[in-house]
Amino acid sequence: MLKQNYSLADFLDIDGCDIMQRAAIFNEQWWLRMYNEKHLLYRREALSPSAPVRTVKDRYTGEIKEMLYFGSNDYLNLANHPKVIKAGMEALNKYGAGAGSVPLLGGTIDLHKDLESKIAELKGCENAIIHTSGYGSNTSTLLSLLNKNDIAIIDILAHASLIDGCKNTNIEFFNHNDCNSLESILSKNENKYRTKLIIIDGVYSMDGDITPLDKIVDLSKIYNAYVMIDEAHSTGVLGENGRGTPEHFNLLGKVDIVCGTFSKALGGVGGFIAGSNNLIKLLQYYSRGYMFSTAMTPQVTGSLIKAIEIIGDEPDLRLQLWDNIKYFKKNLLELGFNIGHSETAIFPIITANDAITREICRELHEMNIYANPVVYPAVRKRLSRIRLSLMSNHTKEHLDIVLNAMEHLGKKYDIIK
């Protein structure tokens, strides 16, 4: 166990220390302690593609291990899908390794416009804009749209990129998925600001629960506000056809701004904003992350176009994922684990104890099970958890191995009886 309860929050700023002194203190008091206690399970080095079983180099033993991989957001296994790889290779061979310039000037190729059309159609929107980073897409969009005349009303558990994009505007947070809390803030600010923008995730990345989008859209209409929803963990997973949270609630085309990343179920990298033609044209000229970043590489673009097509053409991938979700959830609950309000492929095993979370993840690693420890400040101090995420190609045997390991460790650390 760590002898002192240091967290990453303790090194955000250190009085009297410049940046290099701060770096040295962080290395000595956090990184080395974590390493010595065999709790340093971040940045593990993978030697094979994202898949249910992944080859990983153990930093402590130097061993090359075949691990059951429950640390991915690649829910449909599209990162390693043969058709996705082929489409990327074809684009690489045709266009080369890079786009050559920023998209606004000389970097736009026909594949970029094809991808924008595909993602707009998937989300039921008029148009879309693509970015090389999901984080950059959210932050630069919000920075370009909101200022001190506006207000962002944000779910307290919304993704960091959404919060960071609101640095130049007024912010109020509402309690997680709590529409009474949201309405209280909307009512209080009804006539105070030029623009009121409600900002939410479709599926929350550390909890796996779904936003009550129908109720939030209703409130937005009552209080003359707009809604922006981040579909990072919803795209390809939610909805009858995998089109995300708006489809799940029969609200396709009725959400003002739909954003997300291409790096989860679509298996690639980058981000998007979908909305009205007017909004997208504005962002093309005012979103600094779009204007001043070189355009998405052809290979990634080609792969993403194919991935979107596969979501529609191969529904069995999503159906198998949901079969796994239902099986895993049922068994975790029967064992007595606290998984919060998880409804999707993300399972938080809540331990409420940072040290226990790290120890369990260390033991799982030694059992060749790849799981991620999530502790403060990523979550609140009493909500530490082991984060397990499922893929469609996990077999029942894979799931049972993890369930058996978690039953053993849950009893050992007195999380379950």
R_g of the chain computed on alpha carbons: 22
Catalytic residue (one of 39, 196, 233, 248): 233
* Token output for 57: 């180099």
Distance between CA 347 and CA 356 in Å, rounded? 17
Nearest to 382 by CA among 345, 357, 408: 357
Catalytic-labelled residue, pool 140, 144, 205, 392:
205
The CA distances from residue 251 to 62, 153, 248, 258, 328, in Å, are: 50, 20, 8, 12, 29
Distance CA 246, CA 259 (A): 12
The CA angle 273-277-279, to the nearest 5 degrees, is: 55
Strand partners, 197: 152, 226
Q: Which residues of 358-397 are buried (b: 16+ CB within 10 A; e: fewer)?
A: bbbbbbbbebbbbbbbbbbebbeeebbbbbbbbbbbbeee
Quick count: other Cβ atoms within 10 Å of Cβ 352?
Answer: 14
Q: Are 114 and 94 in contact (CB under 8 A)?
A: no
- 412 among known catalytic residues: no
Quick one: angle between helices 277-286 and 134-145, nearest 10?
100
Q: Of these residues, 112, 264, 365, 398, which one is catalytic?
A: 264
151's CB contacts (< 8 A; 6+ apart) are 169, 170, 171, 172, 189, 192, 193, 195, 196, 197
Report whether 104 contacts 291 (CB < 8 A): yes
Q: Take residue 25 and report the two structure tokens written for it.
A: 């203190």
Does 38 qualify as catalytic in the annotation? no
Q: Do the Cβ atoms of 334 and 383 come closer than 8 Å?
A: no
Output phi, psi for 235, to 5 deg: -60, 130
Q: Residue 311 in contact with residue 169, Cβ under 8 Å?
A: no
Q: CA nearest 373: which of 40, 2, 31?
A: 40
Q: Mind telling me the catalytic residues?
A: 205, 233, 264
